[in-house]
Structure 1
Amino acid sequence: MATAPVERSSSVLEQVTNPGALRSLSDGDLAVLAEEIRQFLVAKVCAAGGHLGPNLGVVELTLALHRVFDSPDDALVFDIGHQAYVHKLLTGRRDRFDALRRRGGLSGYPSRPESVHDLVENSHASTALSYADGLAKARQLAGEQERAVVAVIGDGALTGGMAWEALNNLGGAPDRPVTVVVNDNGRSYAPTTGALAGHLHMLRYGGGAEACRNFFTDLGFVYFGPVDGHNTAEVEGVLRRARAVKRPVVVHVMTVKGRGHAPAEADTADCLHAVGAVDPASGRPVCTPSAPSWTSEFGRALVEVAADHPEVVAITAAMLLPTGLGLMKERFPGRVFDVGIAEQHAVTSAAGLAMGGFHPLVAIYSTFLNRAFDQLLMDVALHRLPVTFVLDRAGITGPDGPSHHGMWDLALLSTVPGLRLAAPRDAAQLRRLLSEAVSWGEGPTVLRLPRAAAGVSMGALARMDGMDILYRSKGRPLDVLMVPVGPLAQAALEAAGVLDTEHGVGVTVADPRWVFPVNEGLASLAARHRLVVSVEDGVRTGGAGAALAGRCQDEGVTTPVQVLGLPHAFIPHGSRPGLLAEAGLDAAGLVRAVLASLGHRYPAPATARRLGGIP
């Protein structure tokens, strides 16, 4: 029997300061709470930016989870984590949403330092079921099987290979209860692809008898569903039945991404998946960017290249629009392949395409390439196959935080034999380097793009041994050679001007264009200077600067190389300019570093020291 509505002078949401408060609410109060949560999310996320659509779609589901399971005693693991805003609201963090995804503020993903209710910070897809498998084993070994383990995973994340590996293990252990909640909204960023999507569609619309044989039951799971994910009472009832089974269970929940917000529901491209500051009524950005993004510039350049190179095909891992492949999909639909959230498969499938005579281009976030490094190394590079990787969100990405910063790619890729990596400094160089990459047939190539506006064009004073000389002091000795990676050339140019005109330091700024392998001419140029300063928005250990220093050592060049980059640490969320400045990678930081190396007194600020600072 439903309890009587609570007496209140304030909103229901204001009274819910912990999950336990949900259990005394009536059905009517829960309906009011769901509406208040949606209004709250629309207001806060549209103001600060963040993941809107995924969270609007899981309101009732999250309410039911916290009414049935007792977090943190029971483990709730959210796959990816971008649908955990409602969970954050219900676990006492409502007052922190004004600083969502800002430096020092609320993380856009679950965060262990924020709350005991958050178990997993990693926001890479398809991992929740493996975490749940390990947690369930730990509970079994400790004799604590009454403490439930629940994993919430979207149908999009189920396309990832790790999810299938975990399902195989979970279903094969009937004495180890885990509740797998499949949040089926038919999409991740884009509509879910592949055979599993078709199977879930059949279960969703094929009558839904819970006793039917399906993929999950054949693996050993008890299957409940499909369930209306926007009916709290229905979801709660099924979850209670699932908990009582004491076996591995799949609860198939149907939801609508962007539920309750007209602009999100109407945005069929990605249901306002991730937004910047937008107008809540229309879902449109509140301001127009001053310059096109690197992603959009790449999308336009790719269409031009693909028109001239019919052998070029493109692969995405469920990120068609975020990686800039939308225009190519419109122009050449048969030459773009979405493989789902399956980065390892994407890379080795690209290897097969290359073996078949095509030149595949894999468009992927830098942070997600980490997951497919073995495939790049052994399936592409070992076979010297012409595959081009375009790494979006390389370097500091900003508000998405530690698991999304693309700061390891340079260090990882520097170890791959035969790989060529370029970092364009502006949109014009992007077009030239992309054309060079797809024309190279002797091994893999990589282009590295940041999450930022493409910015101003930076012309070269001269071309030398394939490198561009961007700045050269007149009438001064050759004191410092600055070698920036990609768009950090802008900060290097600004710093060079200050060092030259205000401090009397002779500076040369050279853009190597192709960062790996290190250009022989760069070592020769380094030998003519007193100091070399490399600048990269990747980890200092093993990256571009380390490769340059190694090349100088191999060539007998004794000029010291100062490597400026990101600290050996997990960097928190914040704005890209702010985080780069804290790491000493803005113009002021470069000036400080050079002057310090040359013996000038120019102290580093406290913010740089706090983040790891400069050497």
Structure 2
Amino acid sequence: MIENDKTKTDTGVLEETPLLDQVTYPEDLRKLKPDQLRQFCDELRSEVINTVSVTGGHLGAGLGVVELTAAIHYVFNTPRDRLVWDVGHQCYPHKIITGRRDRIRTLRKGGGLSGFTKRAESDYDPFGAAHSSTSISAALGFATANKLADQPGKAIAVIGDGAMSAGMAYEAMNNAEAAGNRLVVILNDNDMSIAPPVGGLSGYLARLISSSEYLGLRSLASKMTQKISRRVHKGLSKAESHTKGMVTGGTFFEELGFYYVGPIDGHNLDHLIPVLENVRDAEEGPILIHVVTEKGKGYSFAEESADKYHGVAKFDVITGKQDKGKGGGPPAYQNVFGETLAKLADNDPKICAITAAMPSGTGVDKFAKAHPDRAFDVGIAEQHGVTFAAGLAAQGMKPFAAIYSTFLQRAYDQVVHDVAIQNLPVRFAIDRAGLVGADGCTHAGSFDITYLATLPNMVVMAPSDEAELVHMTYTAAEYNDGPIAFRYPRGAGTGVPLPEVPEKLEIGKGRIVREGKKVAILSLGARLTEALKAADTLDAKGLSTSVADLRFAKPLDEELITKMLTSHDVCITVEEAAVGGLGAHVLTMASDAGLIDAGLKLRTMRLPDAFQDQDAPDKQYDEAGLNAEHMVETVLKALRHNSAGVDGAELDDTADDEACAQA
């Protein structure tokens, strides 16, 4: 808990922040005396708690790196020294002391600060991040560029131990030796998954082996042994590395070419500051500092929570109670998937589930409770997860790889080579498809239809509601002719009743949910509700409208689509995905069938060719032009040049142009 003479609430949250009020940028922080840093960190932690209580977002990770954040900016000359945060979800303290405190309560809101690091926001964010395990590679790039240009400046990568489950981190470390002392990697071990016990002795050893005296003697010995014999030098270096590793740990990192320092208590400034100063001034390199921290540090409710308040809604600071709405609404899509898959697995011993460090986010946690021996969390290793699933499928199992759309992008090569080319029946349950609100463009699932439907052998489905998700989960379980994917959005369903018995869908067959004569809306996925609203409006204008739920982006229901294209005056396709998806495939089909030459009025509606920033979901859809009103405007624009308008009247081109411009 926070210990300070200033006024506190019962939770330890400070009500006054006199030192923090003096700091706008790190140069202000460096003016503080070392004995003021403890109070400064307490005030910074309080500001983070109060901020996230208003905005929601990632809390525990940021609380865990308060001292580390302050110490880095205090010791290193940022932004000349480049600080790269892995993932970036722990960067709220960093943002507060790098000129953004006055906007910190706009986090994750439209027009506000991103919940992750973002180059466009600040010079103190040299590299944008929201996906894991990229920091060492990026920092290595900064460090090497400085070395080649003979420019001053270090590059500091802060990477959590969870991110070390991804191979990319080791790929970068394997190449880091060329950067020399310009690269510093800080391993933020916040789960005690690596560290031996830390305390006064380990802190003393860390300061000793990072000191200029020790490193100077080490360098001198290295030069002397090199002159004597290269073999002797190599042997003594390895002996020194293993001896130090036996005492402090870190032999593995030494083998990768890093000089290892640690472990040290990441909340003890008396240990942290001297080590960082030693590393800053060292000629040895690259260096890895092993820092042990606690997620949720300093806020009792976070410290006592199983997930350390990793991601939270708005909450009451005093009680810790989160505002999760009224409750009792439709179930979340990921829960529908997880519960459905668990029930199917009760009667099918071949079904298994794979997640990449997102068990609760994908619903695999529910499957794991029912079938723990068939649930696999591979960590932040999507590439491995997909190929692992391919191996399971090749041996006769029915693997479901439950991965967020944005994270599945990281395993695209494996999807192509290890799954699609071999035509293996891996089932991809793709969560967070489409726009995702406050998490913004880094987490939006915009591209999965485009990158999957282009692959031979692949089947791609999208449910329009949670009942359809039940059917598609069952359909995927029963499909054994090759890979199959189904994508579904973030958040709650539409509220339709869930089927007691799932239906096996016919592959490549959609359904007509509303019959009309003039206009056809071909919808894929969760925009069906808006398509039906648009149909109501169009009907009221005298334009009888059909609505089809295509269900499949691949293979297309060519019979249904051809009927719609040839029996209506205008057709539009609607999807919550980027260009190159459903609309592109329907246009290609129509072109191949010669329908384009027949004067077909076909328009495609999709996500814009842009990365949309975070905002409330309804505002994101409005910006994307995928609401009912935009569908109506698209239809009217397509019909604008008809001689006869709605209800037999001439269409007003001027008014229509204005509506289309808004769309």
2:435 counterpart (392, 396, 405): 396
CA contact (8 A) 2:525 2:576 kept: no
Q: Is the alpha carbon distance of 1:560 and 1:458 closer, same or farther for their aligned partners in structure 2, counting shifts above 3 Å?
A: farther
2:381 counterpart (342, 345, 356): 342
Deviations 1:502-535, CA, capped at 9 Å, x for gaps: x111211100112211112233222222222111
1:85 counterpart (88, 92, 105): 92
1:132 counterpart (112, 128, 139): 139
Q: Is the alpha carbon distance of 1:335 and 1:534 closer, same or farther for their aligned partners in structure 2, counting shifts above 3 Å?
A: same
1:24 counterpart SS class = coil
CA contact (8 A) 2:199 2:265 kept: no
Q: Match for residue 194 of structure 1?
A: none
Q: CA deviation at 1:173?
A: 2.3
Name the amino acid aligned to 2:57: G
Write the distance in 1 (CA, Å) between the matches of 2:201 and 2:473: 50
1:173 counterpart (165, 173, 178): 178
Tell me, yes or no, if structure 1 residue 284 matches structure 2 residue 322.
Answer: yes
Write the distance in 2 (CA, Å) between the matches of 1:536 and 1:453: 18
CA contact (8 A) 1:425 1:487 kept: yes
1:181 counterpart SS class = strand
1:328 counterpart SS class = helix
CA contact (8 A) 2:453 2:581 kept: yes
2:156 counterpart (150, 158, 164): 150
Write the distance in 2 (CA, Å) between the matches of 1:509 and 1:300: 30
Name the amino acid aligned to 1:173: A
Q: Match for residue 623 of structure 2?
A: 582
Name the amino acid aligned to 2:38: A
Q: Is the alpha carbon distance of 1:93 and 1:555 closer, same or farther for their aligned partners in structure 2, counting shifts above 3 Å?
A: same
Deviations 1:40-73, CA, capped at 9 Å, x for gaps: 2222212211111110110000000001111111
Write the distance in 2 (CA, Å) between the matches of 1:285 and 1:531: 45
Q: TM-score, normalised by structure 2?
A: 0.84
1:445 counterpart (475, 484, 488): 484
Name the amino acid aligned to 2:191: G
Tell me, yes or no, if structure 1 residue 39 matches structure 2 residue 26.
Answer: no
Q: CA deviation at 1:23?
A: 1.6
Tell me, yes or no, if structure 1 residue 238 matches structure 2 residue 271.
Answer: no
CA contact (8 A) 1:459 1:470 kept: no
2:609 counterpart (548, 563, 568): 568
CA contact (8 A) 1:523 1:551 kept: no
Q: Match for residue 470 of structure 1?
A: 513
CA contact (8 A) 2:352 2:399 kept: yes
Write the distance in 1 (CA, Å) between the matches of 2:296 and 2:657: 45
Q: Is the alpha carbon distance of 1:10 and 1:423 closer, same or farther for their aligned partners in structure 2, counting shifts above 3 Å?
A: closer
CA contact (8 A) 2:195 2:292 kept: no
CA contact (8 A) 1:495 1:587 kept: yes
Tell me, yes or no, if structure 1 residue 321 matches structure 2 residue 360.
Answer: yes
Q: Which shows bigger deviation, 547-556 or 27-36? A: 27-36
Q: Match for residue 546 of structure 2?
A: 508
Tell me, yes or no, if structure 1 residue 58 matches structure 2 residue 65.
Answer: yes
Write the distance in 1 (CA, Å) between the matches of 2:298 and 2:139: 31
Tell me, yes or no, if structure 1 residue 161 matches structure 2 residue 167.
Answer: yes
Q: Match for residue 190 of structure 1?
A: none
Greater Rg, structure 1 or structure 2?
2
When the two chains are superposed, the root-mean-square deviation of aligned CA atoms in Å is 2.3
User: 1:267-282 maps to which residues of 2 (within 5 A)?
Assistant: 267-268=305-306, 270-280=307-317, 281-282=319-320
Q: CA deviation at 1:561?
A: 2.3
1:222 counterpart (236, 244, 259): 259
2:340 counterpart SS class = helix
Q: CA deviation at 1:282?
A: 2.4
Name the amino acid aligned to 1:63: A
Q: Match for residue 551 of structure 1?
A: 589
Write the distance in 1 (CA, Å) between the matches of 2:162 and 2:17: 38
Q: Is the alpha carbon distance of 1:174 and 1:569 closer, same or farther for their aligned partners in structure 2, counting shifts above 3 Å?
A: closer
Q: Match for residue 33 of structure 2?
A: 26
Q: Match for residue 409 of structure 1?
A: 448
Deviations 1:385-426, CA, capped at 9 Å, x for gaps: 111111111111111112111101111112111111111111
Name the amino acid aligned to 1:389: F
Name the amino acid aligned to 1:80: V
Q: CA deviation at 1:286?
A: 4.6
Deviations 1:249-283, CA, capped at 9 Å, x for gaps: 00000000111112211221x22111222333224
Q: Which shows bigger deviation, 59-68 or 581-590? A: 581-590
Write the distance in 2 (CA, Å) between the matches of 1:154 and 1:304: 35
Name the amino acid aligned to 1:325: V
Write the distance in 1 (CA, Å) between the matches of 2:85 and 2:369: 34
Name the amino acid aligned to 2:154: A
CA contact (8 A) 1:272 1:283 kept: no
1:377 counterpart SS class = helix
Q: CA deviation at 1:376?
A: 0.4
Write the distance in 2 (CA, Å) between the matches of 1:495 and 1:181: 53
Tell me, yes or no, if structure 1 residue 263 matches structure 2 residue 301.
Answer: yes
Q: CA deviation at 1:223?
A: 0.8
Q: Which shows bigger deviation, 317-326 or 37-46? A: 37-46
2:606 counterpart SS class = strand
CA contact (8 A) 2:313 2:322 kept: no
How many residues align? The count is 581
Name the amino acid aligned to 1:86: P
Q: Match for residue 355 of structure 1?
A: 394
Q: CA deviation at 1:319?
A: 0.9
Write the distance in 2 (CA, Å) between the matches of 1:204 and 1:128: 25
Q: Is the alpha carbon distance of 1:68 and 1:142 closer, same or farther for their aligned partners in structure 2, counting shifts above 3 Å?
A: same
Q: Match for residue 189 of structure 2?
A: 184
Name the amino acid aligned to 2:575: E
1:360 counterpart SS class = strand
Write the distance in 2 (CA, Å) between the matches of 1:127 and 1:224: 22
- Percent of aligned pairs with the same amino acid: 40
Q: Is the alpha carbon distance of 1:119 and 1:353 closer, same or farther for their aligned partners in structure 2, counting shifts above 3 Å?
A: same
Q: Is the alpha carbon distance of 1:514 and 1:206 closer, same or farther for their aligned partners in structure 2, counting shifts above 3 Å?
A: farther
2:526 counterpart SS class = helix
CA contact (8 A) 2:402 2:428 kept: yes
CA contact (8 A) 1:64 1:233 kept: no
Gaps of 5+ in 1: 188-196
Q: Which shows bigger deviation, 302-311 or 204-213? A: 204-213
Q: Is the alpha carbon distance of 1:604 and 1:97 closer, same or farther for their aligned partners in structure 2, counting shifts above 3 Å?
A: farther
2:468 counterpart (429, 433, 445): 429
Q: Match for residue 193 of structure 1?
A: none
Write the distance in 2 (CA, Å) between the matches of 1:411 and 1:251: 42
Write the distance in 2 (CA, Å) between the matches of 1:10 and 1:256: 23
Write the distance in 2 (CA, Å) between the matches of 1:85 and 1:480: 49
Q: Is the alpha carbon distance of 1:578 and 1:105 closer, same or farther for their aligned partners in structure 2, counting shifts above 3 Å?
A: same
2:175 counterpart SS class = helix
Write the distance in 2 (CA, Å) between the matches of 1:454 and 1:263: 30
1:101 counterpart (91, 97, 108): 108
Write the distance in 1 (CA, Å) between the matches of 2:422 and 2:25: 55
Q: Match for residue 129 of structure 2?
A: 122
Q: TM-score, normalised by structure 1?
A: 0.90
CA contact (8 A) 1:469 1:509 kept: yes
Name the amino acid aligned to 1:228: D
Tell me, yes or no, if structure 1 residue 381 matches structure 2 residue 413.
Answer: no
CA contact (8 A) 2:460 2:552 kept: yes
